[in-house]
Chain A
Amino acid sequence: MSSAAEARYRIDAPNSAPRAIKVIALDPRSERVVKNLAQGRWNRATFFTASAFGSAPKQGESFSGWLSDLAGRTKNLIEEIDSADLVVMVATAGENAQAASLIGEACSLKRVMTTGLIMGSTDVSDETLSKTLAQLRPWALMLVIASAEEYIQDMLTALRA
């Protein structure tokens, strides 16, 4: 049953529908990367930034008006997350990733899977990287530290974004 000849008979029909993947940059440098990515062709990936909010709203402050798309239009964080299958947070090592906590909280509220991606790890000391990591760790169910910026593109493609 598992010969090469038999493998040809695997049904050739789509076995999934595209997932809504929301990619959110957490700092200005990540925002540039995400803006670049957004130029590509994607199934159902959309791109946002929370970089204006390096210092996230305090506990109890409103979620609304806290996220923006890449053109700078304000978006409702809760609404966006509610319609996501996966949220990817992109951070740069050594930058403030505080926004992760708010996004992460919204994701756990809405039971949405989160992935954190940290770039630029080779430009900073391990100690600095650890700080960024510690900000993301409580909120990302999968964390990836990537040395190459292209990783995020490869990852999104692998996930059929």
Chain B
Amino acid sequence: MLRKEQNDLLTQTGPGTPMGQMFRLGWQPALLAEELPEPECPPVRIKLLSERLLAWRDTQGRYALTDEFCAHRGVSLWFGRNEHNGLRCPYHGWKYDHTGQCIEVPSEPSESGYCQKVKLKSYPLVERGGVLWTYMGPPEQQPPLPEWEFAMVPADRSFMSKRLQESNWLQAMEGGIDSSHVSFLHSGELNSDPLFKGSKGNQYNMGDMKPVFEVVESPGGLFIGARRNAENGSYYWRVTQWVMPAFTMIPPRADHPVHGHFWVPIDDETCWAWSFDYKVTRPLKEYELEAMRAGKGIHVPYVPGTYRPLQNKDNDYLMDRAAQKRGDTFSGVYGIAMQDASLQESMGPIVDRTKENLVSTDNGIIMARHRLLRALKAMEKGTMPPGIDLAHQRVRSAAVVLPPDQHFKEAAKEALLVQTGKEHVTV
């Protein structure tokens, strides 16, 4: 459990909140590049960290992420006209450039220079790896662009999707490091999902339903090692990475693409579940891409025209009781992502952690909260939180078989770091 003040501290990410500041000190995924495909395309309303923003591209194709509302009388600029190198408010014609600078106030004589006094808040928006990243912190502290491996490989080797999750970011992220649920909730998919099945590791997974865990701090966050018995007294280790505050990476299976997530607050009651899949040395295969687009693996099918999952709380996630009974899916909800999301959303938008009863296997979650709280305290004294340093981002998950007396952090040291030109270490 957490005390109420601690729960509030970790779940509130709006302007001026400590946790919000931690998110704002690093680059966050804001949109998919496909959402702003070309110059002068329609603008997109996007809320991030409880701030309503407008993402758009000007005539030259420059990206803009500005305050959603016109400085004049507060109209949403989503209704704006994307005109020559600027966005014009349709109400009284004020026009802004991609930095948010007002460049025209038609009612005032242009010689007065009044428009120069008007500027909308704006944030940088930069494309990398099919994602548009933003930095919402103090300009003088802007770190170098992120170097997560999935975003650095050639475009045909990685796939990214996002889905709306109707819960606070923290309970979503905690799902990403809750290794003890996999053998239950996702047991059906280990054998059936095209992006999971057929790995030797799955046999270990199913052969030993009671994994033993080792939680180890890493420079950027945590390694969570789950070990199961393998042949001849050796151990099968699955090591998940968590990098603060919101990056999680699932251990690989066989030659399947490796996947992971960012859990980025939209506001305190919703978040984006960003979901990536990539290979280092080969393009994704057509059948893999097809499966990802169809919402298999960690991706989802959408309500057409949106990033809201087709299975959502309004239709009870298309719960199938017969499938639950037959055991086709453990929970009755189809698809790995929605199995997680349905349960996390069911907790309520911000779960009341004063009521929970954690057990020993929840130490990954306990340690993650502990590290976040510690980093918040250090941040108050001016220490940069973990996860912003590029070295913290050059990490990998791994699946390895090791002799029983070896510490995975030592024995799999290289496997847990980006190895340029080499695939993940996997079983």
8 Å CB contacts to A: which residues of B266-282?
269
**CB-nearest residue of chain A relative to B404?**
A137
**CB-nearest residue of chain B relative to A133?**
B407
**CB-nearest residue of chain A relative to B348?**
A7
B39 proximity list for chain A (CB < 8 A): none
- Asked whether B107 is an interface residue with its Cβ less than 8 Å from the other chain, the reply is no
A147 proximity list for chain B (CB < 8 A): 217
B345 proximity list for chain A (CB < 8 A): 2
Q: Among A2, A3, A126, which residue has the most Cβ atoms of chain B within 10 A?
A: A2
Cα(A137)–Cα(B215), bound, Å: 12
Question: Are B366's CB and A158's CB within 8 A?
Answer: yes
**CB-nearest residue of chain A relative to B413?**
A126
- Asked whether A148 is an interface residue with its Cβ less than 8 Å from the other chain, the reply is yes
Which residue in B166, B367, B405 is a CB contact (below 8 Å) of A146? B367
Cα(A143)–Cα(B214), bound, Å: 5
A137 proximity list for chain B (CB < 8 A): 214, 404-405
Cα(A33)–Cα(B2), bound, Å: 22
Interface residues on B, range: 35 or more
| Shortest beta-carbon distance from A156 to chain B in Å | 10
With A4-B350, A115-B360, A158-B2 as known contacts, state yes or no: A129 contacts B214, CB within 8 Å: no
Interface residues on A, range: 35 or more
A1 proximity list for chain B (CB < 8 A): 313, 346
Cβ contacts A135-152/B at 8 Å (1 or 0 each): 001101111111110110
Total A-B pairs, Cβ < 8 A: 109
Question: Are A159's CB and B370's CB within 8 A?
Answer: no
Cα(A140)–Cα(B214), bound, Å: 9
With A1-B313, A145-B215, A159-B359 as known contacts, state yes or no: A126 contacts B366, CB within 8 Å: no
Give 18 pairs: A residue, B residue, CB < 8 Å, sorted on A.
Answer: A2-B313, A2-B349, A4-B349, A4-B350, A7-B348, A7-B349, A126-B407, A126-B410, A130-B405, A134-B405, A137-B214, A137-B405, A141-B360, A142-B214, A142-B363, A144-B363, A154-B366, A155-B366
B residues sitting closer than 8 Å to A (CB atoms) are 1-2, 166-167, 212-217, 269, 313, 345-350, 352, 355, 357-363, 366-367, 369-370, 373-374, 404-407, 409-410
Given A129-B407, A138-B404, 8 more pairs with CB closer than 8 A? A2-B347, A4-B349, A129-B410, A142-B213, A155-B367, A158-B358, A158-B362, A159-B358
A residues sitting closer than 8 Å to B (CB atoms) are 1-4, 6-7, 10, 15-16, 86, 113-115, 121, 126-127, 129-130, 133-134, 137-138, 140-148, 150-151, 154-155, 157-160
